Amino acid sequence: MFGIEKISQKKERQLEPIDRRRVEDESKKAYEFTRAILDSINDPIVILDVHTFEIVGANATFVQMVGKPLAELAGKPCYQAIHGRSEICAGPEQTCPLLEMRETGKYASAEHIRYRNGKMKIAEVSASPIRDENGTIVQVVHVAHDITARKLAEETVRKSEEHLQNILDSIRAGIVLADPAKHEIIYVNPYAAALIGAPKEQIIGRECHDFICEAERGHCPIVEEHVKVENYERNLVRVNGEQVPVLESVVPITYEGRELFIESFIDISGLKKAEKALREINEEMRNFAYIVSHDLRAPLVSIKGFSSELVSSIKEMQPLLNKCAAALDEKERMQLDMILHKDIGEALGFIGSSVNRMDGLIGNILNLSRLGRMELKPEPVNMTEIASGILASLAHQIEQKRVTVTVAELPEVIADRVSMEQIMGNLLDNALKYLETGRDGELSINAERKDDEVIFHVRDNGRGIAQEDMQKVFELFRRAGKQDTKGEGMGLAYVKTLVRRHGGRIWCDSQPGVGSTFSFSIAK
């Protein structure tokens, strides 16, 4: 079956007949043994003439694959017998290892793709030289090994790794994979590279201490003890020397037999600033609340008390004054009556109403201070439901003022539900309160996602706010424009406090006679 050339015939001719028979028997046994081995191989193997690439021999797998007896295949070029082509190469997209081997005199291989019965087959096709006793290449061993399953598995792994890479690259947190044995960074995602302040190419392969660790070079207790660390606050030192506070987690993993670490961290500098600002605000509010509750309310109580005593004293004086009035003439009696019942009465009435109003204002300020200290309970809040519920409670005003309301699908946020109801409730109530009379109202609510926050917009076509009054509307007891509606200037101050407590901000864009847009953000 195999046509491997006998390259030792001259030596055989010089042997005696008895030796010749022994050599022939040994050669036959070797041939049969070699043929049995090659026939047992599942890969198709064919022996070719190096010059013509004509088939000299083949194993049983090849004969079975082609479906023709070897006698019919022998002497035909392999490309004609196997593929039915008149030329050796199908084209530049698939190189022929036979030509490469004949040109270089060395082993050559290439991957070939074939389609059989509609299914793709990928084979690694190789060519190995067979040399004679002079080292001249006389024949070629041509082997095709089916690697379809392997290539498909590799493609699956490649796509899986690519998908994982895309996920890691899109995460808004720093991800670093490190080898603790070498203290070496072997992967870093774009967020981490940006936070460190250097390109990925300059980070990968470097020691952790160069970019990430605070520990001394060559010493890291987390790595040495191989422990898991979660939500650890520390400073990350950037390339330019700047320190950035981060919240970090370190998890040991085993990958391909190696002990590695995954470090994940997020920049919490904004959170730290917000916490500091919040502490300052809370401290200011506590001090202010103390002043309001003690220094202002105490004299107010005194005024109210003395006013009541004055009213009582006047009532007690009334009988005595009536007796004295008998000695007065008509004009003097009318003057006394005017002073007692009109002037003093009105003055005491004004004092009483002013005291009550001041007491109400103090109460509002105390409520505002409590907002600064109120415990927030973050939870997933459906803002579409919040807005819809508030609008339902305002349905009478909406119908009365002929308001067209548009509510977009609002994103869910993690926030305090009561706070969100108060924020949205105040803004919607204000929008309806300051619509222009004489024209149909328009009110819309939408939102957008930007970086690390969600921004909500409440738009109306009301009377609008002048530019010089814009900041005034968020201050305590300050109101802008015509004072033809009830209010004490506290609503937007409440809103501002609640928004700031959620790490957000609030602002307004407005044009008199056109309308206003109040926008506030909630940190993701």
Q: Give the C-alpha separation, 501 to 279, whole Å.
A: 10
For the chain, helix, strand, coil in percent to 5 are 50, 25, 25
In sequence order, the 6+-apart residues with CB closer than 8 A to the CB of 474 are 492, 493, 495, 496, 506
Question: In the 8-state DSSP scheme, what is residue 410?
Answer: P
In sequence order, the 6+-apart residues with CB closer than 8 A to the CB of 52 are 77
Give the pLDDT of residue 364: 63
| CA nearest to 184, candidates 209, 163, 168, 208 | 208
Lowest mean pLDDT among 82-86, 190-194, 217-221: 217-221
The model scores a pTM over 0.85 = no
Give the pLDDT of residue 248: 81
**HSE toward the beta carbon, residue 471, CA cutoff 13 A:** 1
For β-strands 403-407 and 441-450, DSSP reports them as parallel
The DSSP string of 389-406 is: HHHHHTHHHHHHTTEEEE
Give the pLDDT of residue 242: 81
Identity at 103, one-letter amino acid code? E
For the segment 404-451, what is each residue's pLDDT rounded down to a tens digit?
Answer: 999 999 999 999 888 898 899 889 988 888 888 778 889 999 999 987
- If one compares 494 and 340, the residue with the highest pLDDT of the two is 494
Whether 222 contacts 148, CB under 8 Å: no
User: Quick one: pLDDT band at residue 517, thresholds 50, 70, 90?
Assistant: very high
For β-strands 137-146 and 119-131, DSSP reports them as antiparallel
For the segment 73-83, what is each residue's pLDDT rounded down to a tens digit?
Answer: 888 888 887 77
Give the pLDDT of residue 152: 87
- What distances in angstroms separate CA 321 from CA 47, 247, 305, 318, 329, one per listed residue? 142, 80, 24, 5, 14
For the segment 359-417, what is each residue's pLDDT rounded down to a tens digit?
Answer: 766 766 666 666 655 677 889 999 999 999 999 888 888 988 899 999 999 999 999 88
Whether 142 contacts 98, CB under 8 Å: yes
Give the pLDDT of residue 7: 41
Give the pLDDT of residue 279: 78
User: Quick one: pLDDT band at residue 215, thresholds 50, 70, 90?
Assistant: very low
For the segment 419-428, what is each residue's pLDDT rounded down to a tens digit?
Answer: 898 899 889 9
CA angle (92 as vertex; 87, 96 as ends), nearest 5 = 60
Work out the average pLDDT over 293-320: 77
| CA nearest to 267, candidates 407, 172, 363 | 172
For β-strands 229-237 and 403-407, DSSP reports them as unpaired
Percentage of residues in the chain having pLDDT higher than 90: 12
Whether 205 contacts 184, CB under 8 Å: yes
Residue 401 is encoded by which pair of tokens? 């003022």
